[in-house]
Amino acid sequence: MTLCTRKNRKGFAVFIAASVLVFASLNSTLTAQNAGRRPSFPQTTSESFDAAAVPAYSGSHSKAYAYIDANLAAHTANLQRWVRQRSISAQNDGVQQMAAMLRDDLKALGFKEAEVVPTTGHPGVWGYYDAGAAKTLAVYMMYDVQPVEPTGWNVSAFDGAIVDHPLGKVLMARGATNQKGPERAFLNAVEAIIKSGEGMPVNLMVLAEGEEELGSPHYPELIEKFKDRLKTASGVLFPMNGQGGDGSVGMTLGVKGIVYFELEARGNERGGPKTAEVHGSLKAITDSPAWRLTQALASLTSPDGNTIMVDGYYSPIRKPSQEEERLVNGMMSSWATREAMMRQGLGVDRWVDGLTGRDTIMRYLFDTTLNINGMWSGYTGPGVKTILPHIATAKIDSRLVPNQTPDEALRLIRAHLDKHGFSDIIIRKISGYPPAQTSVEAPLVRSMIGTYRKYGFTPSVAPRLAGSAPYYVFTDTLKLPLVAGGLGHGSGAHAPNEYMVIEPKSGSKVAGLADTEKFYVDMLFSLAAAR
């Protein structure tokens, strides 16, 4: 799953990763919140999590490293082969072929099981590599990509071109970093371990989907099908380029949930045009769905749009745990720089309420949201058209933090609308899932941190990403920890000129493909050795 803040067009560096252990016991809620009473997050500890205190992984796997160095051209060609295979899920373009390519690659690596798995949507791919090991690692993959922007590309998006870039030689293509590049780099590492005679230290269960860019609507079907097998794994890895353009490494240990829905006003038996727009002059005697939607929306927030006025909406939000607070405290040393980079990358001069420092982190990671993704009604072209539209719609999402749930969030919004006289407003749920979280103490997370440390990086570890991904299928359904990360850098996900660095400029801290693969080798062995 693409971690959402990575997808901003400015490509600002966001510390990414995850690790799981559900905070099931952390159900103490904040004091009951009334409408318009934001949660507050006072600091209760000055202790900090320090990633530098995690011992660096000390193993060495020279056969695998040598195999990688000797086969780098072929490994690069593997990434090119993957990005050249179109797999645009939204347009059903190349999806079946890409699923088959992934299955065939797993077979070629020696996976005992490798199959395309039908769903009610695009198919998944299942693979099982039996190393005869004590531990099993589940690997989440996505094989689909976003549609290609019609303009702005310097190369053809499916050519798999290696081009010169300020950061070095990069693979520039749709899917280069989101997500084919790091995923195939991980499989290159697996190949190196197997083919070099190093010997795989863990069994692997790969479960890939072709609908991540559609919001993973059928991934739960796949999970359900392999649930009993997956539950035997030690945890879940999502291979991902974890470095920013400056080489810095960030990890996140959880994601917010989301509920995405539409609010709609239409003419009905109580008033307004029922079947089609009418002339604008009729406003004098005709109810307007566009005004109704506007008023209903406005009732949901404070005038600045930043406080949710829905009774009880903030109530379930629990206090940050001590571990979360320690992680936040640990983020503070590099936060001012990151925050400034974010604002510059996003074109935002000032956060809400002029937030700075720790307050920004807390609001960003621990607070829920209500966001208008889009709204539309009537005539939206140039100039003048005088109509009273019969329908008005808004696309809203709310990011959910523990212990919010999609259905309860919608229930509260429905109750609010009814209470304020907007029972005519239609709520249409589109998708939703709960948040997910992994503890920084999970062996999988400590293995990842320790491997970063071996390569000279001390990751900034965030308790959560402000974005969303349906990791609950791992953390809640399977009760497995999840970690997302790896060395390597790319940017431009969901944008023109998406790239992944293959060969960095001399002096850069960004890993090239060879180091990215060696990192995955070490990480697998580190996990196998973890208590």
Binding residues among 420-479 for its own copies as defined by CB under 8 A? 420-421, 430-431, 465-468
Q: Which two tokens stand for residue 524?
A: 């697998």
Distances (CA, A) of 326 to 46, 255, 307, 321, 522: 7, 18, 27, 9, 27
Cα–Cα distance between 399 and 414 in angstroms, integer? Answer: 17
Residues 245-284 that bind its own copies (CB under 8 A): 256, 258, 260, 267-284
Cα–Cα distance between 388 and 412 in angstroms, integer? Answer: 30
CB of 344 to its own copies, least distance (A): 11
Q: Dihedrals φ, ψ of 98, to 5°?
A: -70, -40
Q: Which two tokens stand for residue 48?
A: 């900090």
The residue (of 198 and 325) whose beta carbon lies closer to its own copies is 325
The residue (of 277 and 325) whose beta carbon lies closer to its own copies is 277
Contacting its own copies (CB under 8 A), which of 29, 96, 119, 369? 369
Q: Is 134 in the site for its own copies (CB under 8 A)?
A: no
The residue (of 270 and 531) whose beta carbon lies closer to its own copies is 270
Contacting its own copies (CB under 8 A), which of 294, 334, 405, 477? 294
| Residue span binding its own copies (CB under 8 A) among the ranges 55-63, 165-173, 198-206, 286-294 | 286-294
Residues 67-106 that bind its own copies (CB under 8 A): none
Least Cα distance to 486 among 519, 458, 462 occurs for 519
The residue (of 165 and 390) whose beta carbon lies closer to its own copies is 390
Q: What sign has the CA pseudo-torsion 190, 193, 196, 201?
A: negative
The residue (of 1 and 502) whose beta carbon lies closer to its own copies is 1
The residue (of 133 and 410) whose beta carbon lies closer to its own copies is 410
Cα–Cα distance between 99 and 104 in angstroms, integer? Answer: 9
CB of 339 to its own copies, least distance (A): 9
The residue (of 343 and 509) whose beta carbon lies closer to its own copies is 343
Contacting its own copies (CB under 8 A), which of 104, 376, 411, 441? 376
CB of 315 to its own copies, least distance (A): 18
Estimate to the nearest angstrom the gap between the alpha carbon of 321 and the chain centroid: 22
The residue (of 390 and 518) whose beta carbon lies closer to its own copies is 390
Site string for its own copies, 485-514 (x = CB under 8 A): ------------------------------
Q: What sign has the CA pseudo-torsion 363, 369, 374, 378?
A: negative
Residues 303-332 that bind its own copies (CB under 8 A): 303-306
Contact status, residue 83 vs residue 174, Cβ threshold 8 Å = yes
| Residue span binding its own copies (CB under 8 A) among the ranges 15-23, 154-162, 236-244, 367-375 | 367-375
Site string for its own copies, 31-70 (x = CB under 8 A): ----------------------------------------
Q: Which two tokens stand for residue 19?
A: 């690790």
Cα–Cα distance between 253 and 439 in angstroms, integer? Answer: 7
- Among all chains, which residue has been given the structure tokens 């094989």? 143
Contact status, residue 255 vs residue 18, Cβ threshold 8 Å = yes
250-252 vs 460-462, strand pairing mode: parallel
- Among all chains, which residue has been given the structure tokens 């797999």? 87
CB of 407 to its own copies, least distance (A): 17
Q: Is 120 in the site for its own copies (CB under 8 A)?
A: no
CB of 251 to its own copies, least distance (A): 17
Contacting its own copies (CB under 8 A), which of 115, 159, 287, 515? 287
CB of 477 to its own copies, least distance (A): 21
Cα–Cα distance between 378 and 393 in angstroms, integer? Answer: 10
The residue (of 426 and 529) whose beta carbon lies closer to its own copies is 426
Contact status, residue 402 vs residue 29, Cβ threshold 8 Å = no
Q: Which two tokens stand for residue 489?
A: 């850098």
Q: Dihedrals φ, ψ of 125, to 5°?
A: -130, 130
Contacting its own copies (CB under 8 A), which of 52, 66, 134, 348? 348
The residue (of 5 and 497) whose beta carbon lies closer to its own copies is 5
State whether residue 308 is helix, strand or coil.
strand
Cα–Cα distance between 2 and 239 in angstroms, integer? Answer: 10
The residue (of 403 and 468) whose beta carbon lies closer to its own copies is 468
Residues 209-228 that bind its own copies (CB under 8 A): 214-215
Instruction: Give the DSSP H or E segment for 129.
Output: strand 124-129
